[in-house]
Structure 1
Amino acid sequence: MNIPKKDAPDQRLAAGEETQHFVWSTDKEKQLLFIEIKDNFSDYDLLNFVPRIWEENPEILWYDTVVDYRRLGIRNNWTWGAMKEVGRRWADFSQGCDTRSRVAVLTENYWLTQIVNNALAFVFPGSRFRCFKDLDMAIAWATGADEPD
């Protein structure tokens, strides 16, 4: 994802050199978390590094999220079980707070769109999910607190 430096001052590789399978950044002004999934993203990345984002940055509880999953030919080895475990950990972290967060997923993958639209809301109750092909549209929806879902 090409996020201008001024919009993503905290960009860093998740967990340093331990993994190169996703990068994340925040835009504190817009209260947005950006996650770019890279090739070979796995359950290991999902379970060991994604929770560190919010553990090390608790203000993210109130952020909306844009996940960039657009890379064609992306190879991943994450499972539904690991995603449900991350959802459980998020619920523990959020301690029942209804953040009403929005999660915009950038993808061209039809099947991922179906998963997002039909299943992730059950794993992350209170969050709203929508798929996009365009980054600007994803950001506009994620930051549009007064816009309809």
Structure 2
Amino acid sequence: MQEQLVAIGPRTSFPLAGNKISTEPSIPEEWLDEDYRQAAMESTVENLIAWQVRINREERDLTQAELARRMGTKQSAISKLEDPEGGDVLVSTLVKAAHAFDCALVIRFVDYGRFAVRTHDVAPSRLFACGFGDLIQTNEVLQGPRP
């Protein structure tokens, strides 16, 4: 059986076990080079931020102008936010986007193995975060803390 690979960054792949992603941290050989590893991480983060903002906006049928109004900014700022090469993004901007989408924002340091596992799937359905109101309607509110 030939190993299936999933792209997780610039010219980087992550091996899959059958149709399921391995939960064991696996480090691509290219990541042994520190400069490459850091560039791959930065590129992946930049892409994921841009894609998540765009997908969450589009799934809510919002224009860039409407999202900008909700965030108290200009449409051009949303265009820049949705561009992976749009420049540095402030955490405060992401918090405003989370408020506008009525969802939470998680920023966390992880080891590269977990980073590879957590960032391999960029399907729109995996990047969309439903709003709190939708969560309530589907009765998916958590009952106490999760382990």
TM-score bin (small chain): under 0.3
Higher helix residue share: 2
Higher relative contact order (CA 8 A, sep 6+): 2
Higher strand residue share: 1
What is the TM-score normalised by the length of structure 1? 0.24
What is the TM-score normalised by the length of structure 2? 0.24
Q: Which has the larger radius of gyration?
A: 2
